[in-house]
Homo-oligomer: A and B are copies of this chain.
Amino acid sequence: VPQDMPEAIQDRYSEKAAHCYGCGRLNERGHHLKTYWEGEETVTRFTPPSYSTAFPGLVYGGLIASLIDCHGCATAAGADERAAGGKKGEETVQRFVTAALHVNYLRPTPLGPELEIRGRVKETSGRKVVVEATVSANGTVTARGEVVTVRMPETMGSR
């Protein structure tokens, strides 16, 4: 990775918290989703493998749910760090986990193009961060979701 490449939020999950099939850098079989800040929004870009079909030519709903889920948790971790004043040296980010996931499938998602997941913090209160997200293909939103995340207990190796 060149020095001037931006670092993804998931790149700073602690080792114990980096095994997620969706977005863990240490999961050898997983999707390795990477989430970045773009202003006040977060963005993840991912091209699903060819076998991720619902129907021929369309992405299956479970993957779309998974993209929104991992994107939501990363957005919560990033927002938590920003709220604390930004990155401090080599410190890892606080890991958040999903308490509830809601997805509305607005139209079929084509399988082939890169998908763009965009997120924004909707609400923060106590241990909870709520993230809303969209999934787009070719510039059209195909699904909308909301992820209710909670701060992971430190005893579970959250950072």
* A contacts, CB < 8 Å to B: 16-17, 19-22, 24, 27-30, 51-56, 60-63, 65-67, 69-70, 97-105, 156-157
Q: Which of A67, A99, A105 has the most CB of B within 10 A?
A: A105
Q: In the complex, A97 Cα to B54 Cα: how many Å?
A: 9
The interface residues of chain B lying within 8 Å CB-to-CB of A67 are 62
Is B157 in contact with A55, judged by CB distance below 8 angstroms?
A: yes
For the residues of A in contact with B, the DSSP-based class is: mixed
The interface residues of chain B lying within 8 Å CB-to-CB of A30 are 51
Is B69 in contact with A65, judged by CB distance below 8 angstroms?
A: yes
Number of copies: 2
Is A52 in contact with B21, judged by CB distance below 8 angstroms?
A: yes
Shortest distance from the beta carbon of A115 to any chain B beta carbon, whole Å? 14
Residue of B nearest to A66 (CB): B62
Is A16 in contact with B56, judged by CB distance below 8 angstroms?
A: yes
Is A22 in contact with B60, judged by CB distance below 8 angstroms?
A: yes
Residue of B nearest to A146 (CB): B102
